[in-house]
Amino acid sequence: MTHAAVDVVVVGGGIIGRSVASAAARRGMCVLVVEPGGRTFGTSSSNAGHLVPSHRVPFAAPGMVRAGLHSLVTRDGAFAVSPRVMWRISPWLWRFARNSTAANVARGVPVLASLLDTTVSEVHRLRDEGAALDFSDGGVVQVCTTGATFSSMRHEAQEWSRWGVRTQEWSSDELLAAEPSLRSGVAGAVVLADDGRFDPAALLAAVTDEGLRRGVRTLDARVRRVEPTDDRAALVHTSAGTVRAGQVVVAAGAWTPSLCAPLGVRLPIVAARGDSVTLAPGVGAMPTRAMLLVDQRLAVNPLAAGLRITGGFGLTSTADRAVHDRRSRRLVQRAAVVLDLPSDAQPARRWTGLRPATPDGLPVIGRLPHAPAVLVAAGHGMLGSTTGPGTGEMVAAMLSGAPVGIDVSPLSPARFGAGNKRKGSAG
C-alpha cells in the first residue's frame, strides 16, 4: 500500500519526534509521525522530569572516566555496563574516554545551552497557553550527605559559573529548614537556581496535542527502511505500506543507528538503561522541590501523581526493557537514606527506559551526508525531555531552510568520522 505524499515523515513518537512534528506543523508543513502502536516504550513519559538548563556541560567531560570507573567498582547504579554487551560496547567506552576533555566541553556547551534554553522558553509558552504540565521553576536542590561531596559540589559550581550556571549554597541548617522532608545528617546543598521540574508525561501529551491541532497525523507501523530517491526526496517503507516524503527525520532513540546504517552512516548511539519508581501521594514526606541526591545518585521529583525517584545509566541492549522488583526496591531504599520515607514503601508505578547515548555526550542533529533528505534527531542521553522542544525548534528550522542561529556542526551526524561513507565505498 502506498500512502499519500507528505512534506515530512518523523520516525519516532517520543518527546523528540513529537516536538519535531509539532514545530514543523506550526511552520505550515504536512507532517506524518510513524510510531508502532501509537506509543513509545515509556522513556519520554516516566523519566525524572527535571528541567535543567544548568546541564549544559556534556556528559563526556574531564573527570567522567574516573567517576564512571568508581561507579563500576562500587556498583552504585550511576554507571554500569551489562556483561552481555561488554564486547560490543567496548569501542563506545574507548570513544567516551577520548572525548572526556575540556575541548569537548567547550565545543558542546554552546549547542547544548541553545537546546536547553529554547526548551525552557517552549515549556513556558505551553504553560502560558494553558497546558497542564505540573510545572515549577523553583530550582533543583543537589543534596549532599557527606562533607566531601558538599565540598566537591561547591567546587563544581565554581566551574559551572564559567558557563553561566547560577547556583546557591545552603548549609545543613538552611537545607533542613527549606526541606523538612529530609532526614537529619545532610551536609548541605548546592541549588541549581534556574532549573525546575515538570511531569514528562504531561509535556509529551501537550506537545502531541499541539501537533494534532496543527494537522500532524500518526501512522501505527514499524519503519523497515528509509530509501532516498533520485529527486532528493525519500521513501519510508513501513509495515503498513510506503510513504513518500520530501524530508524524513529519524528520531527513533536507541533504534536510530539501525535505520541510518543502510544510508552510509554508522552512528555510535547505544542504549543506556534507566529505572524509576513513583510512590503514591501520602507515602512519606513529599519534598517541595525537585532534588538530586548526589551521594545516592538519584533524581527526585514531587509530582502531583506522586514522588518519582529515578536512577541508573546502564549501557545495555535495546532488548533490555524488563522491569525488575529488586531494582525498584533498591531505588526506594537508597532514597530513604536521605528522605523521610519508609524503606519498604511499595511503588504505585515502576518503569524502565532506554536513553540513546553518544560517546561525546552530545545529541546527533542534522542531515545525513549522503542522503540529504534524511535528518537525524537522536542521542540525547539523559537530556531527552529537557532538550526535546528545543530540538524540535532546531530541526524545524533545518527542515524549512531557515537559519538556526548557532553553529550546529558539533551535532552533525558526520562528526564521527571513519565509517560514515557512501554505502559500498572502500574503507
What are the residues facing 163 on neighbouring strands? Answer: none
pLDDT one-digit tens code per residue, 54-80: 999 999 988 876 665 555 444 555 667
Residue 422 in any domain: the answer is no
Within 231-289, strands assigned E span: 234-238, 241-250, 270-279
Return phi, psi of residue 392, to 5°: -60, -45
- CATH number at 310 reads 3.30.9.10
Residue 424 forms part of a structural domain: no
Select from 411, 415, 416 the least CA-distant residue to 113. 411
Same domain, 215 and 149: no
> Between the CA of residue 45 and those of 16, 58, 76, 201, what are the distances in Å?
12, 23, 24, 4
406 in the same domain as 274: no
338/293 same-domain check: yes
Question: Going along 317-357, which residue ranges are E strands?
Answer: 349-357
Q: Which of 340, 357, 374 is the last residue of a domain?
A: 357
Which tens digits make up the pLDDT trace of 204-221?
A: 999 999 999 999 999 999
Residue closest to 348 by CA, chosen among 309, 388, 292: 309
Q: How many CB atoms lie within 10 A of CB 376?
A: 29
Q: Are both 206 and 325 inside the same structural domain?
A: no
| Segment 172-212, tens digit of pLDDT | 999 999 999 999 999 999 999 999 999 999 999 999 999 99
The torsion angles phi and psi of 340, rounded to 5 degrees, stand at -80, 75
Cell of 217: 497525523
**Is residue 251 situated within a structural domain?**
yes
Does 338 fall in a domain?
Answer: yes
Interatomic CA distance for residues 315 and 319, integer angstroms: 12
Kindly state whether residue 129 falls inside one of the protein's structural domains. Answer: no
Q: What is the mean pLDDT of residues 385-399?
A: 98
Whether residue 219 is contained in a domain is answered as: yes
**Both 252 and 336 in a single domain?**
no
pLDDT band, residue 424 (cuts 50/70/90): very low
Domain end point (choices 357, 376, 408): 357
- Is residue 109 a part of any domain in this protein? no
d(CA 55, CA 41): 25
Question: Each residue of 220-247: pLDDT tens digit?
Answer: 999 999 999 988 999 999 999 999 999 9
Domain with 141, as residue range(s), is 59-99+134-196+270-357
Per-residue pLDDT tens digits for 243-298: 999 999 999 999 999 999 999 999 999 999 999 999 999 898 899 999 999 999 99
150's grid cell: 558538599
CATH of the domain at 381: 3.50.50.60
Could you tell me if 396 and 255 lie in one domain?
yes
Residue 257 half-sphere exposure toward CB, CA atoms < 13 A: 17
Q: Do 295 and 178 belong to one domain?
A: yes
Does residue 319 share a domain with residue 190?
A: yes
Whether residue 318 is predicted with pLDDT greater than 60 in this model: the reply is: yes
In this structure, are 220 and 315 located in the same domain? no
Q: Are strands 31-35 and 234-238 parallel, antiparallel or unpaired?
A: unpaired
Q: How many domains does the chain have?
A: 2
As beta bridge partners, residue 299 has 292, 310
The residue from 312, 334, 357 where one domain ends is 357
**All three cell numbers of 71:** 561507579
**DSSP at 286:** P
Do 76 and 183 belong together in one domain? yes
- 30 and 176 co-located in one domain: no
Whether residues 353 and 366 fall in one domain: no
Would you say residue 178 lies in a domain? yes
- Using a cut of 0.75, tell me whether the model's pTM lies above it: yes
Question: What confidence score (pLDDT) does residue 234 get?
Answer: 97
